């Protein structure tokens, strides 16, 4: 009940904001999101649609529509909207690209298209491995640059952390 009260108060706050600035895209998006959280799917869908009218191909609004359809059990429409969101994804999106891929996989899974769902899960796996490798390279480059500093304790601490990271991601002996 406490969370519902929080959503209700957020909805009231957003409603008062919309009275002052009726076409603010962020307020409209938040209003739609709060209604979706409260289970008012028709209102949420209408406001996500309105966001898409104001800002066509906005991946956040498209993803919001997808989540709303998914919660209603309309997995086919949800898949269609999440595919549009992925196609129009930009780096400034509130939702990460990986979350959209995961959500598309969930839509495929609920539609019984397991081969496409597994393909998306493999795509996610490769993204995560690539991300971890990139973080390791950043860490090692920082280690090289850190050796230019004269503070020996900072350098030793960084080396210990590097060893811990390498041990965490290296394969264990059988």
Q: What is the pLDDT of residues 98-122, one digit of tens each?
A: 889 888 998 999 999 989 988 888 8
Report how far residue 94's alpha carbon sits from residue 97's, in angstroms, rounded to the nearest whole number: 10
pLDDT value for 146: 56
Residue 2 reports pLDDT greater than 60: no
- Which region, left, alpha or beta, applies to residue 73 given φ > 0 means left and ψ of -120 to 50 means alpha? left
Tokens of 168: 């965490």
Average of per-residue pLDDT across 23-50: 90
Average of per-residue pLDDT across 31-43: 90
Report how far residue 29's alpha carbon sits from residue 55's, in angstroms, rounded to the nearest whole number: 11
- Tell me the average pLDDT of the chain: 81
Taking a C-beta distance cutoff of 8 angstroms, is the pair 51, 29 a contact? yes
Q: Which helix (H) or strand (E) holds 36?
A: helix 25-37
Residue 174 reports pLDDT greater than 50: no
pLDDT value for 173: 46
pLDDT confidence of 1, banded at 50, 70, 90?
very low
pLDDT value for 67: 92
Residue 162 reports pLDDT greater than 60: yes
Residue 167 reports pLDDT greater than 60: yes
String of b and e for 70-79 (b: at least 16 CB within 10 Å)? bebebbebbb
Average of per-residue pLDDT across 127-155: 63
Check residue 92 and report its DSSP letter.
Answer: T
Average of per-residue pLDDT across 123-148: 66
If one compares 159 and 171, the residue with the highest pLDDT of the two is 159
Residue 141 reports pLDDT greater than 90: no
Residue 69 reports pLDDT greater than 90: yes
Report how far residue 17's alpha carbon sits from residue 141's, in angstroms, rounded to the nearest whole number: 47
For residues 113, 119, 120 and 122, what is the CA-based torsion angle, rounded to 10 degrees? Answer: 140
């Amino acid at each position: 009940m406490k969370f519902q009260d929080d959503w209700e108060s957020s909805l009231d706050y957003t409603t008062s904001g919309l009275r002052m600035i009726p076409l603010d895209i962020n307020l409209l998006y938040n209003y739609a999101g709060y209604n979706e959280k409260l289970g008012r799917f028709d209102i949420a869908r209408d406001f996500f649609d309105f966001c898409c009218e104001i800002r066509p191909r906005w991946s956040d609004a498209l993803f919001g529509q997808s989540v709303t359809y998914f919660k209603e059990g309309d997995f086919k429409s949800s898949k269609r909207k999440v595919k549009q969101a992925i196609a129009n994804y930009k780096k400034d999106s509130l939702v990460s690209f990986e979350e959209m891929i995961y959500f598309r996989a969930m839509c495929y899974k609920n539609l019984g298209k397991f081969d496409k769902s597994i393909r998306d899960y493999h795509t996610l796996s490769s993204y995560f491995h690539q991300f971890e490798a990139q973080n390791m390279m950043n860490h090692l480059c920082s280690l090289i640059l850190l050796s230019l500093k004269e503070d020996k304790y900072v350098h030793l601490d960084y080396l210990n952390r590097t060893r811990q990271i390498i041990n965490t991601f290296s394969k264990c002996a059988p």
